Amino acid sequence: MTRVLLCSASPRRRELLAEILPKFEVCKTDKEERSRYLRPHLRVMDLALAKQEGISSAEDTLVISSDTLVYRRGKYYGKPETEEKACEMLRELSGVRHSVYTGVAIKWGKKSRVFYDKADVIFKKLTEEDILRYVKGYSPLDKAGAYGVQDGVVVERYEGSFSCIMGLPVEKLRQALSEMGVENV
């Protein structure tokens, strides 16, 4: 039986992975998130790979890691460190289109795969009151861009994969696992 490790503390990623792999363990890495890449698709793949560093795995262990970034006009929006930063991010994203990139790294024995997915998000025009209410009520500090698409509050519409925006592109992950020969884990 194959052991499955998800290198992420995100409750959303756990929820999404459970849709396709019902049994897995969570291992959080305390790796500082740094990448040498400036282009968003390369950055998220690099960060997903970095989360697997230091994770030793046996031949029968499947290791999955992921990283998500919000990107607009050359600026990255990661997880805000404070409520003030969350408010600032939401102000900047209010009423505009931006992109969400999620990178995924998979390691299974000698096989490995790295890929990314991208979706576009259009925010509602938010008032200062909307922003403050969201920051106080929806836990933005653990989310890239200070928001969760699943909250149904700040996003007007999106184009692309809902699960990519949440942090783990399930459709592409399922396909990659199948191509690697991972079935019925």
Catalytic residues: 67
- The C-alpha atoms of residue 177 and residue 143 are separated, in whole angstroms, by 26
Residue pair 145/89 in contact by the 8 Å Cβ criterion: yes
Amino acid type, 45: M
Furthest C-alpha separation in the chain: 53
Output b/e per residue, 102-111; b: 16+ Cβ within 10 A: bbbbbbbeee
**Cβ proximity of 149 and 121 under 8 Å:** yes
Query: Distance between CA 91 and CA 84 in Å, rounded?
Result: 11
The three-class DSSP label of residue 92 is helix
